[in-house]
Amino acid sequence: MKKIIIFVVIMMITLLLAADLKDISIDGGTYTVNAGDTLRIYVNANDITQEMRVIAFQFDAYYDSTLIKYITHKPGDLFENAMLMANGEETGMLKVACSHWQPQEGNGTLVELIFTALAPGETHLQFDKFKMNSDTMTQVYDADIKILPARSERKKK
């Protein structure tokens, strides 16, 4: 019985001392591109520790489909050999999910989202329901995007 109590106490202390996933910061970055150019958005995470045991993430991303068009995605360096899926079938919304068989750690890119810049303007790639494992992230910063006129249009003026 003593061994069970000691084990339970050790497990409780371990859980209390484990790093909180809410300490992780997610940042979409700031971008300036020309209309007609490829826009590569790097969704970055900071401060992932081994103790957090992060094996998965998922999020929805909303964007202005009159200004940018979703093309494809690539895994980032943090989840390089993971199962990554992105569903961009719904115009103006993208669902991303990723899982790995072992915990990931460090700072870096979770996923690279590739768009085409369609027209001049300013917009955001707004993240929603961002989770790591099953925890909802609280420090999530959208991607800010500024699209300038196409290079050929600027030369004509």
CATH code (residue 97)? 2.60.40.680
Judge whether 119 and 147 are in contact, CB under 8 Å: yes
* Residue 117 belongs to a domain: yes
Q: How far apart are CA 55 and CA 63, in angstroms?
A: 27
Tokens of 9: 């106490």
* Residue 155 belongs to a domain: no
Model confidence at 154: pLDDT above 60: no
Tokens of 147: 């699209």
Residue range 125-144: mean pLDDT, rounded: 94
Model confidence at 5: pLDDT above 90: no
* Residue 150 belongs to a domain: no
Residue-wise pLDDT for 47-98, tens only, equals 898 888 999 999 999 999 999 999 999 999 999 889 999 987 888 999 999 9
Q: What is the DSSP letter of 149?
A: P
Count of structural domains within the chain: 1
* Residue 59 belongs to a domain: yes
Model confidence at 17: pLDDT above 90: no
* Residue 129 belongs to a domain: yes
As beta bridge partners, residue 128 has 60
Q: Residue 42: which domain range?
A: 21-136
Task: Give the pTM.
Answer: 0.83
Residue range 20-35: mean pLDDT, rounded: 89
* Residue 116 belongs to a domain: yes
Tokens of 85: 């899926």
Of 80, 107, 128, the C-alpha closest to 23 is 107
* Residue 141 belongs to a domain: no
* Residue 4 belongs to a domain: no
Judge whether 42 and 29 are in contact, CB under 8 Å: yes
